[in-house]
Amino acid sequence: MSMTAAGPHRPVSAVVSGTTLRFVSLVMAIIGTGTFAFSVVYTRLPGNAGLSMMTYARCNELRRPGQLGLTLDPAAIEAAERDSLRASRCLEAMELAQTAWIMAGLALLLAVAFGLYLAAPWWTRRRAGLVPITADGFPRLHAALNELVTDSGLRRPPRFVLAPHAAVRGGLAFGRAGRYWVRVNAGLVPLRVTDPAAFRAVVLHELAHLRNRDVDIAYATMALWRAFVAVALLPMAVAIVQPRILTDPLSAPWVNPDYPRDLLNTGSRTVLFVLIVYLVRNSVLRTRELLADARAAEHGAADGLRAVMAAAAARRTSPSWLRRFGVHPAVAARLRAIDHPLTTLRPGFAEMFGAGMTTMLAAGSLTLVGGLGLPHDGTPAGRYIAWLLAPVVVGVLAMAAWRAEALSPRASVLPAALGFSLGCLLGDLASVLNLGGMWGVFGGPVGRGRMALAGSVEVGNLSLTAGLVGATAFTIGIVLVAAACAAGARAWPPGGYGRWAWLAGAAATVTPFAVWFGIWLELRPAPFLIGRFYHLTAADFTTLGERLWQGPGFALFSAVYPPLQLFAARPLVVPAFVVACLYPLAALLPRRVAVRPADAGAEPVNGPPAPEPGPPGRRGVRSAVLTGLAGAGAFVVLTLVLRAVLHQAAYDAPGIVSYHSYAQLALAIAVQAVVGGVLAARQRRGLMLGQVAALTCAAAVIVGEQGASVLGRCVPPLRLREGTCNAGIDLAYADFLLDAVVVQGVLGALAVGVLVLLLKRAAAVFPGLVPARPRVRSAILTATTAVLVAVGVAAGSTLTAMTDTPAAVAVPAPTRSGAAVARVLTQAEVQRVADAARPVLPRHWRTLPESTSSGTAVLDDPEHCTALVDEEYLTGRDGPEPVVAHGRWTDGDKITTSSIKVTVRSYPQPVPSAMFTAAENAQQACRRFTYTTGEGMQLHYTVSAVSPPALGDQAWRVDLAMTAESSGMSFQGALVIVLIRIGHTLVQVTYDAFSEPVDEELLRKVLDSAAGAVP
């Protein structure tokens, strides 16, 4: 058979395939889910379920999420963080015990996997009755096989064994590290004589599996998967189906009302996980098969492979779609791999999607175990896990970038990056850890009502807007890493330093991504925190006792982006970010002449040769540095002009210094963005040079700003406020500015550079519309870019302005006395008021039945506290009885529970203010008391006064903190009573929280809704 269909000779094996990393991702997902399975089983052990529940209830009482809200008070934030740390330490002992169990399970799983891995070759030989192919028993066959081993380039020949029962014409590579076998089917042996090319193709294909190290990876993964099924998955499935398997196996699990939901939720996710692992494993194996075909073809098996494939295609019986899910690719794909080996390197959307899914499945589970076992020092586990997973993520993306670069013509890495990002996001949703209503980026009950964006679209408990914010933030990070890797791959020809350059690229970008990923993992379950950090910026100024002067364009200037601020503030990020940006330029260093594999052996056909790939020249770098310095010079001039204008317009205004600082920051970033845009428009490798220019500009801006500050302090027309002239250097501000301009400035330069390139590309599509004169063309490009950037920034500042009004900062409800009807309400009206709170309660709250508790309670201090406890302030009025209605709801009958009771009384006369005076007196008289229930349980209460809400004609509130002890366990709770007087109507809201904090936000909503419903 001729070789006319073959493409140019390209050593596909010289380019990193990345399938090993995809396997690593898969293995991490299996191990991660295994740890989750062990944690599930742990909670089913006798005594553990109750202990866990009690401990979590007790320790979580130390947290004060309800009080954290969106408060901007730094002291409250600090207290909340302190409480969180205390709660974390409270859980430490129990969680470490659980971790020890999980680790033991993991050790068992790995031991079983190792045993299976070692035993697999033995079992394969035994089951199939394989016979060694020796020189004595099979002299001609043995010689032919050894010849092929030499052709394949394998240093150590495998052991060949014959499968006498296998009549099919095939083979199999198997074994374990250091000992490899190739099974030769009996049906294949005659081909050595009758069809030597086919015989050679099959054997070289199997030898290519050995050469590509597929056997080690594939069999290790299979062993791990089988061990996972036996040791982790099956026990977990049993524990899910019968949660009381170890305590009361004969009981009916469906008696628990949560059972069907839990079973469906965890069960469906587990099934989904198994399906994902199966499909991803097969996807990776299909890639390995293509690479084995490509390598076998490199060693002279192309003709035989084509013949075998063609014959197989002619008699194909199974549907082609089945091939999409098997471990071998379709024949057409294999023929492509033989004829055009580099096509196997194209980073596909689907394969990257699968890699993303397994990566995030691993992230979810490992975060759980990390939270249990890592030091309980208040550091979120996601921050550690991000460092564990970031090398895999960056490695996979770098691999995609290098593979895309190796293709001829070059492929874009963008679809691969988007596929990976989408896979990660959906993998996050599919994680077994994300229970219903707690789905990762979509937020959960904790985040409800506190979303960063005003007008957040919510469906059930999920915020689609928060999901969009989180998904976009994550995708931007992924695309930037892929872009950095692609720039490196473009600058470093694969034929030069090969795999080392790829590895160096991954190492250069892993630190910034790990930090970004860690921030994302932290913020993912609580997207409202993104909004909250905006307000922390303002809170800093509040702490300093400084009011901000909100002059012209303040919203624009103060458009600081919290995730980026957090990112830049983390240690080592700025230098690591600089390294990642400059890494591609390292290709400028002296190196040996490299030949790109894509071009090797390919003769130029027509036209001029393609532009030389690789990094920009030294002239380009010099140009970028000069442009950056020019930008810094412009910054200094403009900042002095700004000072002069502010001196004239708002001299010594409160907060003007802060205003100026923000304006300076915005100015520096804008200058860097312009610099990036200019280089993108004018230079080859403009994006890469734009980074150099932006970094140069950043460094020069720091120096220039200090000089401008000295001038500003010493030259009267440039002063912003009264002060003395001094030449001191403000290192703290320089550090702040450096962090901001390095990260945000470089990203701004990149964004504008990309925009310029997109506009140029768009213009190339419509050449008739582009003016012929270069100056006019440049002017139009500049104007269009400026308009688009202005629109984008305006949109961003609008978004910021929206987030500046968080939903949780409640606007006081208007007083209703003026509008309230001056009459007693009807029973229907009263009931409507009592029921008004229902819509604002979370969906899982349900109606609370009337209390049926009996027995006589005893009060230890009746003299001072009976009036408060028995609510005597509500009674003692002469006249007809009021019209009364009740509404009662609870969030469950778990050990931690809250209930809200709304009682509405409408009187023929206006509610007297004396009632509130009596309530206040009752509260003042009683500071603390002990209440012994009819069941003998002692509840200790401490009474405290709290500012009432600004509702109705008059409002009153009392808070009672409760502690109790039972069976050696201590419990805490809170009781809040609020009275609101609105004309003839008295609204009483009682919020009772047991082993969980009072949700102040929810209480406020209930009060607003009830008061607002009074006619």
Partner 1 sequence: MTGTYPSVVDPDIIAAEQDLARRVAALVAPEEDELFTVLDGVYRKDPARLTAHGPGSDEMLGFGVETLAALVTPVVLASVTEVVRYLTEQYGSTVRARLSLRRARPSAADAEPAVPHLDDAQLAHVRAIVLDKCAQAGLEEGRSRLLADSVAGALRDAV
- Which C-beta is closer to partner 1: that of 191 or that of 276? 191
Handedness of CA 474, 520, 504, 669 (dihedral sign): positive
- Which C-beta is closer to partner 1: that of 326 or that of 771? 326
- Which C-beta is closer to partner 1: that of 305 or that of 1013? 305
Give yes or no for residue 274 binding partner 1 (CB under 8 A).
no
Q: Which x/- pattern, by CB under 8 A, does the window 220-239 give for partner 1?
A: --x-----------------
E strand map for 826-968: 846-847, 858-859, 883-890, 897-906, 928-932, 938-945, 954-966
- DSSP string covering 574-603: HHHHHHHHHGGGGGGS-------TTTTTPP
- Which C-beta is closer to partner 1: that of 54 or that of 188? 188
- Which C-beta is closer to partner 1: that of 171 or that of 525? 171
Single out the residue of 10, 22, 44, 169 in contact with partner 1 (rule: CB under 8 A): 169
User: Going by DSSP bridges, is the β-strand pair 954-966/969-982 parallel, antiparallel, or unpaired?
Assistant: antiparallel
Single out the residue of 21, 57, 166, 621 in contact with partner 1 (rule: CB under 8 A): 166
- Which C-beta is closer to partner 1: that of 286 or that of 647? 286
Handedness of CA 664, 667, 669, 671 (dihedral sign): negative
Q: How far is the CB of 224 from partner 1 (least distance, A)?
A: 14
Residues in 402-431 that interact with partner 1 by CB under 8 A:
none
Give yes or no for residue 337 binding partner 1 (CB under 8 A).
no
CB 185, CB 169: distance < 8 Å: yes
Question: Using CA atoms, how far apart are residues 418 and 421, in angstroms rounded to an integer?
Answer: 5
Helical H segments across 770-897, by residue range: 774-803, 827-835, 862-869
- Which C-beta is closer to partner 1: that of 13 or that of 256? 13
Nearest Cα to Cα of residue 434 among 303, 284, 324, 269 = 269
Give yes or no for residue 139 binding partner 1 (CB under 8 A).
yes
Question: Using CA atoms, how far apart are residues 892 and 783, in angstroms rounded to an integer?
Answer: 60
Single out the residue of 34, 69, 171, 373 in contact with partner 1 (rule: CB under 8 A): 171
Single out the residue of 64, 200, 334, 336 in contact with partner 1 (rule: CB under 8 A): 334
- Which C-beta is closer to partner 1: that of 192 or that of 535? 192
Question: Using CA atoms, how far apart are residues 1011 and 825, in angstroms rounded to an integer?
Answer: 14
Q: How far is the CB of 312 from partner 1 (least distance, A)?
A: 4
| Bridge partners (DSSP) listed for residue 857 | none
Q: Which stretch, 133-141, 528-536, 623-631, 784-792, contacts partner 1 (CB under 8 A)?
A: 133-141
CB 17, CB 403: distance < 8 Å: yes
Q: How far is the CB of 996 from partner 1 (least distance, A)?
A: 51
Nearest Cα to Cα of residue 480 among 96, 286, 139, 751 = 751
CB 926, CB 858: distance < 8 Å: no
- Which C-beta is closer to partner 1: that of 163 or that of 673? 163
Single out the residue of 232, 331, 587, 904 in contact with partner 1 (rule: CB under 8 A): 331
Give yes or no for residue 285 binding partner 1 (CB under 8 A).
yes
Q: Which stretch, 320-328, 410-418, 610-618, 916-924, contacts partner 1 (CB under 8 A)?
A: 320-328
Peptide bond just before 409 cis, omega within 30 deg: yes
Q: How far is the CB of 568 from partner 1 (least distance, A)?
A: 47
Question: Using CA atoms, how far apart are residues 114 and 108, in angstroms rounded to an integer?
Answer: 10
Collect all residues with Cβ–Cβ distance below 8 Å to 646 and sequence separation of at least 6.
551, 656, 659, 660, 720
- Which C-beta is closer to partner 1: that of 186 or that of 569? 186
Collect all residues with Cβ–Cβ distance below 8 Å to 570 and sequence separation of at least 6.
515, 519
Question: Using CA atoms, how far apart are residues 433 and 435, in angstroms rounded to an integer?
Answer: 6
Q: How far is the CB of 337 from partner 1 (least distance, A)?
A: 12
Give yes or no for residue 140 binding partner 1 (CB under 8 A).
yes
Question: Using CA atoms, how far apart are residues 511 and 521, in angstroms rounded to an integer?
Answer: 15
Phi, psi of 722 (to 5 degrees): -60, 140
> How many positions of this chain bind partner 1 (CB under 8 A)?
53
- Which C-beta is closer to partner 1: that of 146 or that of 815? 146
- Which C-beta is closer to partner 1: that of 125 or that of 1004? 125
Q: How far is the CB of 410 from partner 1 (least distance, A)?
A: 30
User: Going by DSSP bridges, is the β-strand pair 159-163/171-176 parallel, antiparallel, or unpaired?
Assistant: unpaired
- At 760, which helix (H) or strand (E)? helix 746-765
Q: How far is the CB of 141 from partner 1 (least distance, A)?
A: 5
Give yes or no for residue 372 binding partner 1 (CB under 8 A).
no
Question: Using CA atoms, how far apart are residues 213 and 690, in angstroms rounded to an integer?
Answer: 41
Single out the residue of 74, 326, 723, 855 in contact with partner 1 (rule: CB under 8 A): 326
- Which C-beta is closer to partner 1: that of 157 or that of 187? 187
Q: Which stretch, 100-108, 137-145, 430-438, 515-523, contacts partner 1 (CB under 8 A)?
A: 137-145
Give yes or no for residue 172 binding partner 1 (CB under 8 A).
yes
Q: Which stretch, 251-259, 325-333, 519-527, 592-600, contacts partner 1 (CB under 8 A)?
A: 325-333
The CA-based angle 950-952-953, given to 5 degrees, is: 105
The residue assigned the tokens 């690229």 is 505
E strand map for 426-576: 458-459, 462-463
Q: Which stretch, 63-71, 138-146, 369-377, 660-668, contacts partner 1 (CB under 8 A)?
A: 138-146
- Which C-beta is closer to partner 1: that of 309 or that of 559? 309
Q: How far is the CB of 183 from partner 1 (least distance, A)?
A: 9
Give yes or no for residue 174 binding partner 1 (CB under 8 A).
yes
Q: Which x/- pattern, by CB under 8 A, does the window 179-218 give for partner 1?
A: ------xxxxxxxxxx-------x--xx--x----xx--x
Question: Using CA atoms, how far apart are residues 248 and 50, in angstroms rounded to an integer?
Answer: 14
Centre a 10 Å sphere on the Cβ of residue 715 and count the other Cβ atoms it contains: 14
Give yes or no for residue 145 binding partner 1 (CB under 8 A).
no
Q: How far is the CB of 408 from partner 1 (least distance, A)?
A: 27
- At 149, which helix (H) or strand (E)? helix 139-152
Q: What is Dmax (Cα atoms) for the chain?
A: 117
* Distance (Å) of CA 744 to CA 528, 573, 666, 749: 22, 12, 10, 9
Q: How far is the CB of 114 from partner 1 (least distance, A)?
A: 19
In the chain, the N- to C-terminal Cα span, in Å, equals: 92
Q: How far is the CB of 218 from partner 1 (least distance, A)?
A: 6
- Which C-beta is closer to partner 1: that of 301 or that of 958? 301
Residues in 540-599 that interact with partner 1 by CB under 8 A:
none
Q: Which stretch, 262-270, 324-332, 586-594, 801-809, contacts partner 1 (CB under 8 A)?
A: 324-332
Give yes or no for residue 128 binding partner 1 (CB under 8 A).
yes
DSSP annotation of 588: G
Give yes or no for residue 986 binding partner 1 (CB under 8 A).
no
Nearest Cα to Cα of residue 633 among 708, 559, 684 = 708
Give yes or no for residue 143 binding partner 1 (CB under 8 A).
no
Give yes or no for residue 138 binding partner 1 (CB under 8 A).
yes
Q: How far is the CB of 112 from partner 1 (least distance, A)?
A: 19
- Which C-beta is closer to partner 1: that of 138 or that of 583? 138
Q: Which stretch, 136-144, 347-355, 563-571, 860-868, contacts partner 1 (CB under 8 A)?
A: 136-144
The residue assigned the tokens 């989180």 is 470
Question: Using CA atoms, how far apart are residues 394 and 361, in angstroms rounded to an integer?
Answer: 16
The residue assigned the tokens 């734009």 is 690
Q: Which residues bind partner 1 (CB under 8 A)?
A: 128-129, 131, 137-141, 162-174, 185-194, 202, 205-206, 209, 214-215, 218, 222, 285, 288-289, 308-309, 311-312, 315, 326-329, 331, 334
